[in-house]
Structures are given as C-alpha cells and as structure tokens.
Amino acid sequence: MTGYAKTAVLMAAMTALFLGLGFLLAGPEGALIALVIAAAMNAMAWWNSDKMVLRMHNARPVDAHTAPELQQMVVELARQAEMPVPAIYIIEEDQPNAFATGRNPDNAAVAATTGLLRRLSREEVAAVMAHELAHIRNYDTLIMTVTATFAGAISMLANFALLFGRGRNGMNPIALIAMMILAPLAAALVQMAISRSREYEADRVGAEICGNPLWLAAALRRIQGFAARIDNNAAERNPATAHMFIINPLHAHKHDRLFSTHPSTENRVAALEKLAADSGRMRERLDTLSDRGPMPGPWA
C-alpha cells in the first residue's frame, strides 16, 4: 500500500471512530453533533495552528537580511520543488531539529533550530529543509493538524460520556468506561500511525527535492545523535507538537512502535540508502550547497 493510500485508510478510520463514538453516545443525533464539533474544531485549527505552534517554540521570522544563507537555500529548494517559498523561522534551541507548519503551500512556514544550522553541513541542512518542504507540498501539515484535532475531540467526547450520560439506550457503565479509555487510545494509535507514514513519504520526496537521498540519511543520523543528549526545552513543555519535528525532540523510542510518533531513524536511513542505490547515481544538483562546512550566519 502506498503512503497516500495508507494515510487515506487511517484518516477514514479516525473519522469512523469519531462518528461511531457520537452514535454510541446519542444515536444519529450524536453522530451529527460529533460531526459539527469536528468541523468547528478543525476550522479553528486550520486557521490558527501554525501561529500557535510557532509561538509555542518562540520562533522568530527571518529574511534575506537577517539570515541570507538560509533564505537563499530555501528559495532554491522551493524553486526545485515547484512550490511557493514558505515563511522562514529560526528557533533558539541547541538541539538540531526542524519542522513545517501551515494550512497549505501558500500559507506555510518552515522553522529550523540554531543547533541545526550550527551543527550540520550545508548539504545536510538543505536535505532537512527539503524534507520540510515535502511535508508542505504533500499537505502533511494540514493532515496532521486534522488528525490531532480528531484525536483531541474523541478524548473530549469520551469524557462527556462519563460525565453526562450513559450512552445510547442506557449503555452499561462498564462498557462506557471501557469506551472512554479505548476510544482515545485507538485515536492516538491511528494518529501516530499516520504521522509515521507521512515521515517516510516526506523523506522520499525531500530526497528528490534536494537531489541526494544520502544527504538526508546523514542528516537524520546526526540529528538523532544530538537529540538523544540535548534537550529541546520548548518541545518538552509542549509535547503535543513533537510529531511535527523531523526527529522526535523528546528522546523517543528507537524502533517503530505503536506509541511512537516517528519511524525508527535506522529504518528511515535504510530506506533512503536503498533509494540512493536504486537511483544508481549520486546527484549533486544543488552546486551552491556543496560546501561541507556548517551554515554560516549570526546564529553560529
């Protein structure tokens, strides 16, 4: 099953779980109310999530005057990807990491930590930025906002069931409690499965954008190594945003597990190495990014 097909199936499962929970609580009317609640919550998240996340991480906007090297790099990569240039932000965190946010390619942003710019080579930074552009081009930023909102709404409905009612036709209290526990758990599992699926797809598309899968493979290895021993304080305070980063900033599990928001770094690197081997070439398509040194700039 392709990444897009798997995402569609998982999104359908999340929607069915949400509507089914509403139906169990109050019949067809409950399902309709659940749908209205989901629409309102998703509309709010669709419009405001990018600003909220950037504010949570104290991201500051930069441009051609304040970060010319990074600005030029993102412009070139966006041109290569045939997409609008997103707003560019820098986060004052020593842990190397990055994320993308925004409701569509015309209203999107990429954010990189100062640690990423200081500790990785230009090729590796370019690969990371290409990965984040892939998330934007694939509408992953919107998909993950919707799934996170659904997961939150399912938890809310489950709590309403415990507090305000016995469910449709007087549901058994034990069954009601089980539903309250299992429905949010199932929603979280689906959300995490979607997140892992989109990371693999963004790796593949990001490698195409930057022109060399091994740049991204090297970047993932290095970020994982640093992230395992350097805290990201803003992410620790806002763990719900961890799934947005290219590598889990919270020192997550090393292997693909049900409760991991990211695939195993080893598995991602292996997939990228296979992609490089299958292509039969190592393209150095971005000649201006060929220097092996770290990114220069006021953050260094």
Exposure string over 10-26, b if 16+ CB within 10 A, otherwise e: bbebbbebbbbbbbbbb
Distance CA 148, CA 47 (A): 14
Confidence band, pLDDT 50/70/90 cuts, at residue 160: low
**What would the pLDDT profile of 176-234 be if each residue is shown by its tens digit?**
666 666 666 666 666 677 777 889 999 999 999 999 999 999 999 999 999 989 999 88
CA 175 to chain centre: 34
Which residues, 6 or more positions from 219, have their beta carbon under 8 angstroms from its beta carbon?
120, 124, 125, 127, 128
Tell whether the model's pLDDT for residue 276 goes beyond 50: yes
Q: Name the residue type at position 298.
A: P
Q: Which residues pair with 100 in a beta bridge?
A: 110
Which pLDDT does position 288 carry in this prediction? Answer: 41
Is 132 in the active site?
Answer: yes
Instruction: Note whether residue 295 is domain-resident.
Output: no
Q: Report the number of distinct structural domains present in the chain.
A: 1
283, pLDDT greater than 70? no
Q: What is the pLDDT of residues 49-106, one digit of tens each?
A: 678 889 999 999 999 999 999 999 999 999 999 999 999 999 999 999 999 998 889 9
What average pLDDT score do residues 13-41 get?
67
Q: Are 136 and 116 in contact (CB under 8 A)?
A: no
Range of the domain at 73: 3-289
**Helix (H/G/I), strand (E/B), else coil: 142:** helix
Residues 198/144, Cβ–Cβ less than 8 Å: yes
User: Does any domain span residue 137?
Assistant: yes
Q: What is the pTM of this model?
A: 0.75
Confidence category of residue 175, pLDDT binned at 50, 70, 90: low
Q: Establish if 258 belongs to a structural domain.
A: yes
pLDDT band (50, 70, 90) for residue 152: low
Which pLDDT value is given to residue 39? 66
Q: Which of 132, 199, 201, 208 is catalytic?
A: 132
So what's the pLDDT on residue 128?
Answer: 98
Q: What are phi and psi of 211, to 5 degrees?
A: 95, -5
Query: Is residue 223 within 8 Å of 115, Cβ to Cβ?
Result: no
Lowest mean pLDDT, pick from 36-50, 122-136, 162-176: 162-176
Residue 255 lies in a domain: yes
| Res 289 pLDDT > 50 | no
CA 276 to chain centre: 24
In whole angstroms, how far apart are CA 239 and each of 1, 100, 121, 233? 30, 16, 28, 10
What span, in angstroms and rounded, lies between the C-alpha atoms of 18 and 33?
Answer: 11
Task: Note the pLDDT tens digit of each residue in 100-143.
Answer: 998 889 999 999 999 999 999 999 999 999 999 999 999 888 77
pLDDT of res. 213: 95
Which pLDDT belongs to residue 153?
A: 66
**Residue 138 included in any domain:** yes
Determine, yes or no, domain membership for 156.
yes
Encoded tokens for 125: 């930074």
Q: Is residue 165 predicted with pLDDT exceeding 60? A: no
Categorize the per-residue pLDDT at 263 as very low, low, confident or very high, splitting at 50, 70 and 90: confident
Contact 152, 159 (CB under 8 A): no
